[in-house]
Amino acid sequence: MTEANVSGAAFFDLDKTLIEGSSAVHFARAAYKEGMLTRRRLASDAWANVRFRLRGSTDQGTDELRGRILDAIAGQRTVDLARLGPHVLAGILPLLYREVLEEAYAHQDAGRRAYIVTAASQELADVLAHVLVLDGGIGMRSEVHDGVYTGRPAGPFTYREGKAEAIRELAAREGIDLAESYAYSDSESDLPMLRTVGHPVAVNPDRELERVARDAGWRIMRFDKLGRRVKVGGGAVGVLLVAGAGGFATARMRRPRFRRPRLARALARR
C-alpha cells in the first residue's frame, strides 16, 4: 500500500548495481552486428569490460571516453543509433539483479519514486525506466540538430559529481526531500551521489566504496560473484564505459548499412 506524504525518492546506478556487469557490452554487440563497429575495436575493448567489472571506473578513463563518444556520434542520425535499442535491451534485461529491482519496487510501493542514474545515454536511461516501470532516468545528454548528433554535450556528464548535480536538480524541480531519499551504487566514483541522500546503499561495492561504507555504517548489498569466478567469453566483448550518448554510441563507428534490423532474440532470464 502506498504511503501518503512520502517525499523521498530512490536513485539507482545502472552498471554493476541494477544489472550485472557493463551495459555497454550489449551495445557493442548490436553495433558490430549492424556494421557500425569494427571487429578490431570490438576485440581491443574486450579487456576494458573485464577491468571495469573487477576494478571499477577511473576519472581519466571516463573523461577520455566522453570525448571519444561525442566525437564518434558527430554526424550520426539519431534514428539509426536508436534502432539498436531492442537488440541492446535483449542483452541487458536478462542481467537484471532481481534483488535490486525488488528494492526499487518496494520504494515505489512505499510512495517513493525510483530513478535510474547513469553515465550512459539519457535515451537508454529513459527506455530502461519505461520497460522496468520505474519513474524516470537520468543520463548523459548529447546535442541534436535536425535529427543528427552534433558531437557536443547538451548537459553535464552524469559521472561522479555530475550525478549528484543531476539528482539535486531533479529534487529541486520535483520537490524531493533528499534527506529522506536513498541511493544505490557499486563504485567509489558515485560517492558524491551517495552522499547527496540520507540513506546511501553500497551494492557489490569496489574496494574503496566498501571501506567508506563500512566506516560510515552504510548498508551493503553483495551478490556479484565475478571477482571469484572470472569468465572471459561471450559476455566480455566490446565495451565502452557508457552504453552510448544521445541514442546509443560507440567509438570508431562506421556509417550504418541501411537495412532492416534483425529481430532481437526472445528475452530469457538465465
Give every CB contact of residue 191 below 8 A, 6+ residues apart in sequence. Answer: 209, 212
**95: confidence class by pLDDT, cuts 50, 70, 90:** very high
Active-site option among 15, 45, 80, 186: 15
Please count the other Cβ atoms lying within 10 Å of the Cβ belonging to residue 232: 11
Over its C-alpha atoms, the chain yields an Rg (Å, rounded) of 18
Residue bearing the bigger pLDDT, 23 or 93: 93
Whether 15 is a known active-site residue: answer: yes
Residue 33 has a pLDDT of 77
Residue 264 reports pLDDT greater than 70: no
Rounded CA separation 30/88 (Å): 6
Least confident piece of the model among 162-166, 227-231, 266-270:
266-270
Rounded CA separation 75/52 (Å): 29
- Which of 64-68, 89-93, 150-154, 178-182 ranks highest by mean pLDDT? 178-182
Q: What is the mean pLDDT of residues 134-160?
A: 89
Are 173 and 43 spatial neighbours (Cβ–Cβ below 8 Å)?
Answer: no
Active-site option among 13, 186, 190, 206: 13
Are 80 and 100 spatial neighbours (Cβ–Cβ below 8 Å)?
Answer: no
Residue 13 reports pLDDT greater than 90: yes
Are 90 and 127 spatial neighbours (Cβ–Cβ below 8 Å)?
Answer: no
Residue 58 reports pLDDT greater than 80: no
With pLDDT > 90 as the criterion, what percentage of the chain qualifies?
Answer: 43
Locus of grid cell 559476455: 235
Mean pLDDT of the chain: 77
pLDDT in tens, 20-57: 988 777 777 776 777 766 666 655 555 555 555 555 55
- CATH fold group of domain 51-228: Rossmann fold (3.40.50)
